[in-house]
Structure 1
Amino acid sequence: MNKINNKIFSYPFLDSLFFMQNEWHQHGVIVHTLRVTYYALKAGDFKFFAAGLLHDVGKPFTAFKKDEEDYEFNEWSFTDHEERSYQIIKSWPFISEYTKKIVRYHYLIRDIKKSKKEDPKRYAQKKMIWDALDEDLQEDLRRFLHYDDLGKGKKRRN
């Protein structure tokens, strides 16, 4: 898991929370989170309500500058943000196990595609996790990813 642990009043935490994430997100984490939740509810997928609100709760804690492009465009990277989000909520008794799984694995599809090109070892690890999930959860993760994409808004750069 990403070792970055930003403090709540740090620049990376606040900047990513309120203003800027990266080229794939038009909004900061708060607005993105509300948009994901809105699109899930608008589609009648009420079971994603809590996951929509919590899926990126760990993201500002993991914000870091990964490469020159992050510095050039004042963007953030969020490696393993979904695991950090899960770690935050995993012991909350008022959150269902289903929601915890959606939060923990919501980026898994993207991670598999990305790591297949860039990191064969990570790809094998993530693919093993995916293959262990039941088909209903896999389908729900595909649907949730759609809402997550809608919540991103338009891309900033080409």
Structure 2
Amino acid sequence: MSEVKNKIFSKPFLDSLFFTQNKWHQHGVLVHTLRVVYYTLKHGDYKMLAAALLHDIGKPFSAFKKDEEDREYNEWSFTDHEERSYQIIKNWPFLSDYTKNLVRYHYLIRDMKKSKKEDMPRYARKKEIWDSLDDDFKADLERFLKYDDMGKGKKRRD
């Protein structure tokens, strides 16, 4: 998990929450989350509603400038934000294990695709997790990824 631990009133936290994420997101984390909730409800996947609300709860805490591109475009990176989100909610007794796991693994599919090209040891770790999941949960992850993508809005740049 990323060592970045932004405070609630820090610039990275507030900027990423309300205004700027990165080239893949049109909106800050808050509006993105509300859009994911909207698409989850629109498609009738009510069992995913809590995960839609909480899937990026750790993002503002993990926002950082990864490289020159982030600095040039004033954007943020969020390495392992899904694990940070899971760590925040893992002991909440009113959430199901299903919700906690959907939050924890919501980026797994995309992470495997990206790491297969860039980081084979990371890919192997992520693939091992994927292989341990049952087929129904894998299908739910694929559907949830679509809602997450719809929540991003249009890309600002390529």
- Using structure 2 for the length normalisation, give the TM-score: 0.99
RMSD in angstroms over aligned alpha carbons?
0.4
Displacement, 1:46?
0.6
State how far apart, in whole Å, the 1-side matches of 2:46 and 2:146 are.
15
State how far apart, in whole Å, the 2-side matches of 1:69 and 1:46 are.
38
User: How big is each residue's C-alpha offset from its partner over 1:75-107, in whole Å with a ceiling of 9 and x where there is no partner?
Assistant: 000000000000000000011110000000000
Corresponding position of 1:138: 138
State how far apart, in whole Å, the 1-side matches of 2:43 and 2:36 are.
11
Aligned pairs for 1:1-158 (under 5 A) are 1-158=1-158
Displacement, 1:124?
0.2
State how far apart, in whole Å, the 2-side matches of 1:3 and 1:110 are.
21
State how far apart, in whole Å, the 2-side matches of 1:95 and 1:32 are.
21
State how far apart, in whole Å, the 2-side matches of 1:48 and 1:154 are.
23
1:148 partner amino acid: D
1:140 partner amino acid: D
- Using structure 1 for the length normalisation, give the TM-score: 0.99
Unaligned residue ranges in structure 1 (runs of 5+): none
Structure 1 segments, 4+ long, off by >3 Å, are none
User: How big is each residue's C-alpha offset from its partner over 1:34-67, in whole Å with a ceiling of 9 and x where there is no partner?
Assistant: 0001001001111111000000000000000000
Partner secondary structure for residue 79 of structure 1? coil
State how far apart, in whole Å, the 2-side matches of 1:78 and 1:29 are.
11
Partner secondary structure for residue 127 of structure 1? helix
State how far apart, in whole Å, the 1-side matches of 2:118 and 2:62 are.
20
Displacement, 1:25?
0.3
Count of matched residue positions in the alignment of Structure 1 and Structure 2: 158
